[in-house]
Amino acid sequence: MGIASIARRIKQKNLAYILGRFRTVRVAYSSGRGAVEFLRPPRKSMGKWLMPTLFGDAKIADIVQTIRDEAVFVGLNLPGHIVDEIKTFALSEPLHAIYDPKGPTFRYSDVSGGVAADGRPMPIGGVSDPARCPAVQKVINDPVLRSIVRKYLGHEPRKITTILDWSFASSMSDEERRRLKHGVIDYHYDVEGYNFVYASFYITDTDRYSGAHVMMKRSHKRKPLRMLLGSARASQEAVYRQYGQENEITIEGPAGTGFVQDTSCFHRASPPTLGDRLMLAIRFIN
């Protein structure tokens, strides 16, 4: 996105997308919301906050500090029974194409080599409203996860969105993936409102050949003005020049591997070539 596109967003009064790029704005927003909640604490459902956690060994303060320092904490892992429930749900649900969300639905078993049974190329298939799954709800409402989110943001999030997507392995070229709206294979940073943090969980074993998440540590803090005012996307070469290739990490792990990330950092997805990936992503916004 260039200056002209940003100007259009300003005219459309989408100020959150413009101002949310700046860390100083996010910090100020966090302080303001935190002060309001101190004076008027939000009402909470006691049932949700008294439920047992899925992450019994988590050290919340250390996790929050790691995200502040490096933009990510890796190791908030789901237990096997929750992984199995979510995977079973995703295997049985109708999916929609990322580039045609209102088009014909299909099942996971209908896709082979990145091609659906009706011949459509299929980089990603998404489950509609995955929060319908009881196991997903347990993750969303987990008291440890919500405490991490609250402490990192400095306030309760006003909006929570949930994504459960299959990324299908294929020999599809990067250009074809981009044409089919699989643009997250390129480095970018997110702007979701004035403040945001994501929790993501691999529901299948995931490595660099099956869609592993790649990111640049500490890139949530040190963006030059050209990256803040221009497009939220950047070439790999530009990201390496700015932050150093040594700060790039590839998050690989078995099913259940979880990470909490300030997605204002530069990140991307590896194009899956040898294995399909199922990932649950929960976005805590504003």
Confidence of residue 50 (pLDDT cuts 50, 70, 90): low
Q: 156 pLDDT exceeds 60?
A: yes
More confidently predicted of 181 and 50: 181
Domains recognised in the chain with CATH numbers: 3-285 (2.60.120.620)
pLDDT of residue 277: 98
Alpha helices, DSSP H only, in 71-157? 80-92, 134-140, 143-153
pLDDT in tens, 188-212: 999 999 999 999 999 999 999 999 9
Mean pLDDT across the chain, nearest whole number? 93
Q: What's the rounded Cα separation, in Å, for the pair 279 and 258?
A: 10
The Cα–Cα gap between 121 and 115 comes to: 4
Highest mean pLDDT among 21-35, 85-99, 220-234: 85-99
137 contacts: CB under 8 Å, gap ≥ 6: 131
The residue ranges of DSSP E strands in 103-195, in sequence order, are: 124-127, 159-167
**How far apart (Å, rounded) are the C-alpha atoms in residues 272 and 286?**
32
Does this model's pTM top 0.95? no
* pLDDT at site 40: 83
All residues at 6 or more sequence positions from 253 whose CB lies less than 8 Å from its CB, including other chains: 74, 77, 202, 205, 206
Confidence bin at 60 (pLDDT 50/70/90): very high
3-state helix, strand and coil shares in percent for the chain, rounded to the nearest 5: 40, 20, 40
Weakest-pLDDT range from 90-94, 200-204, 222-226: 222-226
Percent of the chain with pLDDT over 90: 84
179 backbone dihedrals φ, ψ, rounded to 5°? -60, -30
